[in-house]
Amino acid sequence: MLISSIELREIRLPLIHFFETSFGRTTERRIVLVRVVDEDGMDGWGECTAAENPFYSDEWTESAWYTLREFLAPMVVGASAQASEIFALMRSVRGHRMAKAAIETACWDLEAKRAGAPLWKYLGGVQDEIPCGVSIGIQDTPEILLEKIGRELLAGYQRIKIKIKPGWDRNIIQRVRKQFPDIKLMGDANSAYTLGDAPLFRELDQFELMMFEQPLAHSDIFDHAELQRQIRTPICLDESIRSAEDARHAISLGSCRIINVKLGRVGGHAEAKRVEQVCREHDITVWSGGMLESGIGRAHNIAMATLAGFRLPGDVSASERYWEQDIIEPPVTVTLRGTIIAPKEPGLGFRVNLDRINSLCVRQELVGKQASTLAGSQT
Ligand code: OSB
Ligand code: MG
């Protein structure tokens, strides 16, 4: 397919409830959306998962916007390529994987639509129903956290992930375990600890968590290997895994037994498939992470999570947990057994609500030959 133009939009989307991790609190998302259009006027949508600040990774909304506008979009516009080749077109830009993934995933949506196939099948997915968990941020009080966990379990979610940080760890996990002795429970530290905290993690082994997610530094795989040797609970890497090579290195060092795959963090669907394959070859379980995505990113995560290696419940949950109104129709819903059914329509399988997007849009940009063809806009 020939990519004739790329549209960028930034939308502001307030979260129903703030989301707090060891690195800070988010109340409103600033999301960059990408629409790629081909020579026949068909389109595909992608979402940049960079956050509002460079605290989870070094990318953030502003860096993604300018990198997309100045470098990445111009490298792809005018190219005739398959979705699997898009990442390579942008290889002279180092890093900026979330920005790259926004374009790359949009191209997969477009290509699947052109093929008349649901994206998940087009990617090689094999599961038409995926298990779902929830990620629950740090709360103002332990009581609020316990109440929220109870509510999510009632809704059917199969696994609870809580965010932990120094001062919100041992006591919290102990209280959650006391009230919910048998649930699938895990803790995500977002790099809040050091190897010096190994005694704490040894103590936490008693609570039989499914895994500790990214306890140590965001770029580390060496100290994680040492920590994993000292504890029984599996370590799951998130921030540290940016490519299939990272996954291979971490696995061979023994730095983790589980990997959280995020489309943005690894640079798109093609690389996510490579990570999944490396993990499957080494008997390492993967699951789909989330980045507080709007419906577009969420739909891409659903497609990825249908690949064979995704065996554990992911952080992919219903639109209504995050947004008053999503930007796709229908919104993502979760069954009472805590699953999402993969869509049947071609591409992402959800309708993109352009009116809603334009009403949330604070800036837009067109990279392409034809000026003034921004869909649904007057500029
Ligand atoms: O570490 O998985 C993470 C959200 C923002 C940044 C990092 C993370 C998260 C989540 C939320 O845990 C997952 C979601 O519900 O989208
Ligand atoms: Mg994480």
Domain ranges of the chain: 3-117+350-368, 121-341
Q: How far, in Å, from the CA of 239 to the mean position of ligand 2?
A: 7
Task: Give the ligand with the smallest distance to the CA of 162.
Answer: 1
Which among 35, 29, 73, 114 is positioned nearest to 353, based on CA atoms? 35
Q: What pLDDT digit, counting tens, does each position of 239-288 carry?
A: 999 999 999 999 999 999 999 999 999 999 999 999 999 999 999 999 99
Which residues share a beta bridge with 35? 7, 45
Please indicate whether residue 161 is annotated as part of the active site.
no
User: Packing angle between helix 97-115 and helix 269-281, nearest 10 degrees?
Assistant: 90
Instruction: Give the position, in ligand 1's atom list, of the atom nearest the Cα of 163.
Output: 12
CA pair distance 242, 97, nearest whole angstrom: 8
Task: Give the ligand with the smallest distance to the CA of 211.
Answer: 2
Is residue 238 within 6 Å of ligand 1 at its C-beta?
yes
Q: What is the pLDDT of residue 229?
A: 98
Instruction: Give the position, in ligand 1's atom list, of the atom nearest the Cα of 137.
Output: 12
Q: How many CB atoms lie within 10 A of CB 319?
A: 23
Q: pTM for the complete prediction?
A: 0.96
Is residue 7 within 6 Å of ligand 1 at its C-beta?
no
Domain 121-341 matching CATH 3.90.550.10: the answer reads: no
Q: What pLDDT digit, counting tens, does each position of 280-312 carry?
A: 999 999 999 999 999 999 999 999 999 999 999
Alpha helices (runs of H) in 292-374, residue ranges in sequence order: 295-304, 354-360
379 — pLDDT class (breaks 50, 70, 90): very low
* Structure-block tokens of residue 4: 């004739």
375 — pLDDT class (breaks 50, 70, 90): low
Instruction: Give the position, in ligand 1's atom list, of the atom nearest the Cα of 134.
Output: 15
Is residue 190 within 6 Å of ligand 1 at its C-beta?
yes
Alpha helices (runs of H) in 34-118, residue ranges in sequence order: 61-67, 73-76, 83-89, 97-115
Q: What pLDDT digit, counting tens, does each position of 209-239 carry?
A: 999 999 999 999 999 999 999 999 999 999 9
For the cut 60, the answer to whether the pLDDT of residue 370 exceeds it is: no
Task: Give the ligand with the smallest distance to the CA of 316.
Answer: 1
Taking CA atoms only, the protein residue closest to ligand 1 atom 9 is 291
**CATH number attached to the domain at 3-117+350-368:** 3.30.390.10
Catalytic residue among 113, 121, 161, 163: 163
